[in-house]
Amino acid sequence: TISRSIPDGRTHYCETGYNTPEEAEAAAQKAKDSQKPILTRSSEMERIKQEQMVSVIWSTPLGLPIVQPYRKTTRKQVRTNLQTVFISDPNQRNAVSPRKQASAFPPNFIHSLDATHMLLTAITMNKAGLAFASVHDSYWTHPSCVDEMSGIIRETFIKLHTENILEKLRGGFIERYGNFKVPVEDLLDEDIDRVLGQADIPEEVKQGIVEATGRRGAKLKAQHVEDEYEGDLYVPRPLPAPKAALSTPTTEDASTTSSGVQPLRWIDLKYILPPIPERGNFDVSRTRQSQYFFS
Q: For residues 269 and 214, what is the distance between their CA atoms, to the nearest angstrom?
A: 20
Q: Calculate the dihedral angle through the C-alpha atoms of 61, 62, 64, 67, rounding to the nearest 10 degrees.
A: -10
Up-side HSE of residue 16: CA atoms within 13 Å toward CB? 21
CA angle 12–92–70, rounded 5-degree value: 80
Amino acid at 28: A
Q: For residues 46 and 15, what is the distance between their CA atoms, to the nearest angstrom?
A: 10
Best CA proximity match to 92, nearest among 109, 71, 112, 107 = 71
Residues 6 or more apart whose Cβ sits within 8 Å of residue 295: 150
Instruction: Check: CB of residue 22 under 8 Å from CB of residue 13.
Output: no
Catalytic residues: 137
3 state SS of 174: helix
Q: For residues 185 and 47, what is the distance between their CA atoms, to the nearest angstrom?
A: 14
Give the chain's end-to-end CA distance (angstroms, integer). Answer: 40
Neighbours of 129 (CB within 10 A): 7
Neighbours of 219 (CB within 10 A): 12
Q: Residue 84: in which H helix or E strand, if any?
A: strand 84-88
